[in-house]
Structure 1
Amino acid sequence: MLQESNSPQKCVMIVAGEASGDMHGANLVRQMRSQAGDSLFFCGVGGQAMRSAGVKIVIDASQLSVVGITEVIRKLPEIFAGMSATKRIVLSGLPDLLILVDFPDFNLRLAAVAKRMGIPVFYYIAPQVWAWRQGRVRTIRKLVDRMAVILPFEEEFFTSHGVPATFVGHPLLDVEKSSHTTTVSDRDGPVVGLLPGSRPGEVERHLPIMMKAAAMIGKSRDDITFLVSCAPSVPIEHVARITEPFEGRTRFALVAGGAGEVLGQSTLVVTASGTVGLETALYGVPMVVIYRVSLVSYLLARALVRIKNISLVNLIAGREIVPELIQGNASAGNIAGQILQMVGDGKVLEEARRNLAMVREKLGGPGASARAAQIALGLL
């Protein structure tokens, strides 16, 4: 049983299907508890961060998180099982509030069930419908009672489409930066962070190419150290299996604990596109953004996506301030070329840092989680 039927606590169901959503969902839960005391019980879909925040996890997010059409097909049985389990909770009438964190393909279906049950829906971290599948904004307008958005241009977009949205700032500004300063001994040159992603599939696609680039550089530059970020959502053994063939070909180390442990030490990073790129910007670390998916997923995205850039950093800046290498362009040779060009030119790195500082200013100040919590509590 999730909660005793006679419990005086209100039940909040929160659903976050990805690593970044798990982290932000956990911070939201802590803020809601801080503001509402012990009057709330939390259950839902998430990972270790939300579990540590006191959420009763019904479905682990690792069962559901995936990117790309062909990748989704392989995981359909787990996704359907997760959807059935979460729908049963909503249909039981137990939740007094449903909080959705990004993850729209799953969450909008759940929102429809909540709407039928008369359960208020709060959406935290909006689906990026401004980039593709804009028709979904009509669905959001019908199903969502309140929305808290985290990118500065999103409030105007959603309110212009009739969705009650409020810009609360970006929750990454609430995350304490890592104070980690050393991993590899006797470093005497630049440190390049490799951030392949937070999903096993992303790591499989990105890390081999990143390591090949590192090995290419290692032939001529033995002073560059590469730090490989091991996301908590990906077993470190999985990462080690990919990097093992490159031992002796370049200087590298695996760093557990999330992107911050690498960002705090890096001169430059090569990162998969996504929230981690924005986290990199907040650290002020120059970057090269890459992304690869299956061919089918890539062709479909090209047909549907309405924006020129994929990096959130470039979208917020309104122009390309960080290099993007997508699909076939994300080759080992191109990545190695970008790394050598940037670490070899102090002026390029300094200009990149100035541009990232401008992006940081556009995101506003800290307190996003607290402001979002206040909106959510207003629905109870």
Structure 2
Amino acid sequence: MIVAGEASGEMYGAQIANAIRALSPEIRFFGMGGNCMREAGVETLVDANVMAVMGLVEVVAHLPTIVRGFTTLKKKLHADPPDLLILIDYPDFNLRLAKVAKKAGVKVLYFISPQVWAWRSHRVHGIGRVVDMMAVLFPFEVPFYQKANVPVTFVGHPLLDLVKPTMKRDEALASLGLDPQRRCVGLFPGSRRSELQKLLPIILESAQILKERMPDLQFVLPRATSLKDEDLAPYLAGTRLEVKVVAGRNHDVMSGCDAVIAASGTVVMELALVGVPHVIIYKMSTLTYEIGKRVINVPHIGISNIVAEKRMVQELLQHEAEPVPIADEIDALLNRPGYAAQMREDFAAMRVKLGNGGALGRVARLALEMMK
């Protein structure tokens, strides 16, 4: 059983399923995921697209849907226990499911650690009671788990293998139907509907300000696999801005961008690996934000900034995530060459810290060892 709760996690789930099947073709997969996992032959008992919400208030609003999904997987664990349960990220849901699996006698491999080193660090002891192996992305996570006597393996970051743009800037823009002679700004509003609601109107307003300052600009928006065109339509209909919406070609879009407005998430690591200057933004409910800022133990929210141990990329959160400050930051990235060049140098230094590729292959081999 593989369980992933949002777009990036279910993309990894699909890759892990393919990597395991390449080594052991007879293995059957089921669980929770989206389109990528279905295409990889995973029977999705629960659709991850309806489960992807972030924030205390937002989760409470979606609680009935989340509970139904959890109940479905819990029943399956008891009625048809798998040889292994692979949990990917999505910690508040997945750690509860790990507890169910443990009672059912099912081994648990957890890939992409909950950020216990960032907040609620006491959770590490509970994790040790329900997880048989933690497969982590970053070297600094290993001693944290070892200190708590939790079995841990550093597998590396899968994006080192997955983020491989096939086109240069001009070629990418031409293939997207955009003009290589004009500067291009990417609009990355996130993969959740709740993120669209909070962030896309602000992003579009920021883009409108930039267009008024620099009329030559063009804009591109990659649609996440977890979203549909009709999810974007109401927001795009309310703007005078011309925005090119592209489905399924995130890395080509990144290659074509001179700067990007990005919702905090996996995408900021992808942008850093591609080498695209960007600004990180995020908004959540006031209650979630007020609670979060009191319990989070790291100085950054962008995972690339956390790995780099410095503020490579500007983070505009909550009341700071407004159209004018966002537009000002993109303006600086486009018109101050030294500023953007320094950011690219920082990205290259951060990449070295992530080690080598092959992460998902290591996870697949780890899974097979645990099933023997």
Q: TM-score range by the shorter chain?
A: over 0.9
The letter of the residue matching 1:243 is L
**Mapping of residues 2-81 of structure 1, within 5 Å:** 13-38=1-26, 40-81=27-68
Give the match for residue 134 of structure 2.
147
Percent identity over paired residues: 41
Query: TM-score, normalised on structure 1?
Result: 0.93
Whether contact under 8 Å (2:163, 2:251) holds in the other structure is no
Question: Is 1:220 aligned to residue 213 of structure 2?
Answer: yes
Whether contact under 8 Å (2:13, 2:37) holds in the other structure is yes
Question: Is 1:273 aligned to residue 260 of structure 2?
Answer: no
Question: Is 1:363 aligned to residue 354 of structure 2?
Answer: yes
Structure 1: tracts of 5 or more residues without a match: 1-12
State the alpha-carbon separation in 2 of the partners of residues 287 and 339 from structure 1. 7
Deviation at 1:64, TM superposition (A): 1.5
Whether contact under 8 Å (2:109, 2:132) holds in the other structure is yes
**Mapping of residues 91-110 of structure 1, within 5 Å:** 91-110=78-97
Deviation at 1:258, TM superposition (A): 5.0
SS of alignment partner, residue 29 of structure 2: strand
State the alpha-carbon separation in 2 of the partners of residues 337 and 176 from structure 1. 28
State the alpha-carbon separation in 1 of the partners of residues 178 and 261 from structure 2. 21
The letter of the residue matching 2:6 is E
SS of alignment partner, residue 307 of structure 1: coil
Give the match for residue 343 of structure 1.
334
Structure 2: tracts of 5 or more residues without a match: none
Give the match for residue 102 of structure 2.
115
Deviation at 1:61, TM superposition (A): 0.5
Tell me: CA distance 1:185–1:92, structure 2 relative to 1, closer, same or farther (3 Å).
closer
Question: Is 1:376 aligned to residue 363 of structure 2?
Answer: no
The letter of the residue matching 1:29 is A
Deviation at 1:176, TM superposition (A): 5.1
Query: TM-score, normalised on structure 2?
Result: 0.95
Whether contact under 8 Å (2:221, 2:246) holds in the other structure is yes
Q: Which of 69, 72, 88 is the aligned partner of 1:85?
A: 72
**Mapping of residues 88-237 of structure 1, within 5 Å:** 88-175=75-162, 177-179=164-166, 181-182=172-173, 183-237=176-230
Give the match for residue 237 of structure 2.
244
The letter of the residue matching 2:89 is D
More helix by share: 2
State the alpha-carbon separation in 2 of the partners of residues 185 and 111 from structure 1. 47
Whether contact under 8 Å (1:268, 1:343) holds in the other structure is yes
State the alpha-carbon separation in 2 of the partners of residues 114 and 185 from structure 1. 50
Whether contact under 8 Å (1:218, 1:251) holds in the other structure is no
